[in-house]
Amino acid sequence: MVNVRKRCAVVLALVTVGAVVWAMRWHDTALVDCSFATRAVLRYHYNDTTRDVEVTNADDVAALRDSLAGRTSAEFTTSGFTENVSVTMLGTHKSMTFCPSLGGAAEFLMADNGSFLHVSKEQRRTFDRIWKRYGLPFP
């Protein structure tokens, strides 16, 4: 009977610690909302190429808004972010700049605050398709 109580106490302690860690990580995240954006500018200043391209199609701007929706985190799993390869979402009174992972991971560095944005693989594929549609090579 004592062993059962000890095991239950250990399991309860592990569950409690896990819940606290999860709550702390959730608290440190924020939703990213680009619904303000009516324009987008793709920046590619990399490998001897310098191009800034305004996204002209409203559907492409909407797709970029959707592909950049997610939660921020202080943690990232890849390296290789630069503002020289970025997209800036622009609205009347607000802008946000996102630097995609150069390795192709579904992560972006938010240049404005240093947070990382994790998105789904499908969101990243959408971003990459738009990037290529405007004739920009990807590193």
Domains of the chain by residue range:
1-29, 33-133
**Cα–Cα dist 39/129, whole Å:** 17
Q: pTM of the predicted model, to two decimals?
A: 0.76
Give the tens place of pLDDT for each residue, 22-39.
333 444 577 888 899 999
* Residues 6 or more apart whose Cβ sits within 8 Å of residue 40: 54, 55, 60, 61, 64, 87, 88, 89, 90
**Cα–Cα dist 85/77, whole Å:** 18
Give the tens place of pLDDT for each residue, 47-82.
888 999 999 899 999 999 999 988 887 776 666 888
Higher pLDDT among residues 64 and 17, named by residue: 64
Token pair for residue 74? 């202080």
